[in-house]
């Protein structure tokens, strides 16, 4: 933040400081997630009182531009962007529609024996082998989710670890093998971060996570994969819009839209 003299006068000092900080953020001096100078540094730099600094930051916080973290200081708030999720999309599509840059790290790509729950979801025999893929998902180079995906061998063996570093399961299956992913069934619930998940997502162990369990299907209602995605709750939430009455005769339902809000 460049040194700039605040001038006492008809425009309150807190408002001048607020606009100064906002301008720095809008010009990219500070990006989403960056820490702002401490209250003490702002006091020294601009010759204002602590009350003035706190009032300026408080207004920026109320406008969703800044977030203050207890004992840690003030940070530029992560972007809060809504997107439509009425149609089935993959991670890359979600992020691009939200204006975020997606990236993935493949942490593990291996065969394992299916658990009872996974076998049931994929409609295979208990203890059949599946392909398991663990990935760290990032938005604008910041961790946002951890995925565990299980595929029956008939689909999993079509994939490779190298491909998944820069491509998605949906895209590979649909464009290379003409296997369309036509439907997904979601179960959204709460979870807490294990030590491993906490390390990957840069949160404390035991932090609340949003767990989305998904089973995706191809033509003929055949399961393609089951997936558990653990989202950081400070970076995504879901908003549901419902109508009081649907119209079954016209094929409409009470669900109007389901939107993830990425922050």
DSSP for 4-60, written as a single string: -----SSS-HHHHHHHHHHHHHHTTSS-TTPBPPPHHHHHHHHT--HHHHHHHHHHH
Mean pLDDT over the full length of the chain: 84
Cα-based angle 228, 231, 233 (whole degrees, multiple of 5): 145
- Beta strands, E only, the chain: 66-69, 73-76, 81-82, 102-113, 129-139, 142-152, 183-192, 208-218, 222-232, 236-242, 255-262
Confidence class for position 169, pLDDT limits 50, 70, 90: very high
Per-residue pLDDT at 76: 87
What backbone torsions phi and psi does residue 226 show, to the nearest 5 degrees? -115, 145
Provide the sign of the torsion angle of the four alpha carbons 200, 209, 239, 22, taken in this order. negative
For 100, counting Cβ atoms within 10 Å of its Cβ (0-12 exposed, 13-18 middle, 19+ buried), the class is buried
Domains of the chain and CATH, by start: 13-76 (1.10.10.10), 81-262 (3.40.1410.10)
pLDDT in tens, 107-163: 999 999 999 999 999 999 998 999 999 999 988 888 999 999 999 999 999 999 999
Q: 13-26 burial, b if ≥16 CB within 10 A, otherwise e?
A: bbebbbebbbebbe
pLDDT in tens, 24-76: 888 878 887 889 999 999 998 888 899 999 999 988 887 778 888 877 888 88
Q: Is the pLDDT of residue 244 over 60?
A: yes
What backbone torsions phi and psi does residue 64 show, to the nearest 5 degrees? 80, 15
């Amino acid at each position: 933040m460049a040194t700039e003299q605040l001038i006492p006068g008809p425009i309150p000092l807190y408002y001048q400081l607020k606009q100064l900080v906002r301008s720095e953020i809008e010009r990219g001096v500070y990006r989403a997630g960056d820490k702002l100078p401490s209250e003490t540094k702002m006091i020294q730099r601009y010759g204002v009182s602590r009350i003035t600094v706190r009032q300026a930051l408080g207004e920026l916080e109320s406008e969703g531009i800044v977030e203050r973290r207890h004992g840690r200081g003030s940070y530029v708030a992560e972007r809060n962007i809504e997107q439509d999720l009425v149609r089935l999309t993959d991670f890359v599509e979600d992020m691009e529609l939200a204006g975020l840059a997606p990236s993935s790290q493949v942490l593990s790509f291996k065969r394992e024996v299916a658990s009872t729950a996974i076998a049931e979801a994929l409609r295979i025999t208990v203890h059949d082998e599946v392909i398991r893929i663990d990935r760290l998902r990032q938005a604008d180079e910041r961790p946002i989710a951890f995925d565990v995906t299980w595929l029956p061998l008939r689909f999993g063996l079509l994939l490779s670890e190298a491909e998944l570093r820069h491509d998605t399961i949906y895209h590979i299956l649909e464009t290379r093998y003409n296997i369309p992913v036509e439907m997904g069934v979601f179960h959204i619930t709460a979870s807490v971060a294990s030590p491993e998940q906490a390390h990957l997502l840069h949160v404390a162990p035991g932090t609340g996570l949003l767990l989305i369990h998904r089973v995706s299907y191809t033509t003929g209602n055949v399961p393609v994969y089951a997936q558990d995605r653990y989202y950081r709750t400070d970076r995504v939430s879901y908003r549901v819009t419902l109508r009081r009455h649907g119209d079954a005769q016209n094929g409409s339902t009470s669900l109007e839209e389901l939107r993830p809000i990425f922050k």
